[in-house]
Amino acid sequence: MQLNKAIDKLTKATDKNTESDGHFTIMKFSTGYKVLMITPELCHADYIALASLEQKDTMEEAIEEALERGIMSEEEYESHVLEFEATLD
C-alpha cells in the first residue's frame, strides 16, 4: 500500500468513527513505527496500550496493522490494557 493511500484509508476510518473523533497518531521510533487510532494521553493506560502494539518496519505496515485492529471502544481499550498489563508481572 502506498503511503498516501494508507493515510487516506486511516483518515477515512477515523473520520467516520465517534470513538476516535477523527484522531489518529503515527509514531516513529528508532527501529520502527506504531499507529494508534486515537490521540493518546500521557497516562499509564495509554503508555501500556502503546507498549503492547507490535512495532512495524514501515509506516505503511503500521497503518495497515492499525486499520486491521480497528478502533476499540472504551471498554475494549480498557480490557486490552488490563490484559497486557497482567503479562508484565
Domain boundaries, the chain: 3-86
Q: Pick the residue with more confidence: 28 or 39?
A: 28
Where residue 56 falls among pLDDT bands split at 50, 70, 90? very high
Residue that is written with C-alpha cell 512495524 in the block: 56
- The pLDDT value given to residue 89: 65
- pTM equals 0.65
Q: Which long-range contacts (CB under 8 A, 24 or more apart) does 47-51 make?
A: 48/81, 48/84, 48/85, 48/88, 49/77, 49/80, 49/81, 49/84, 51/84
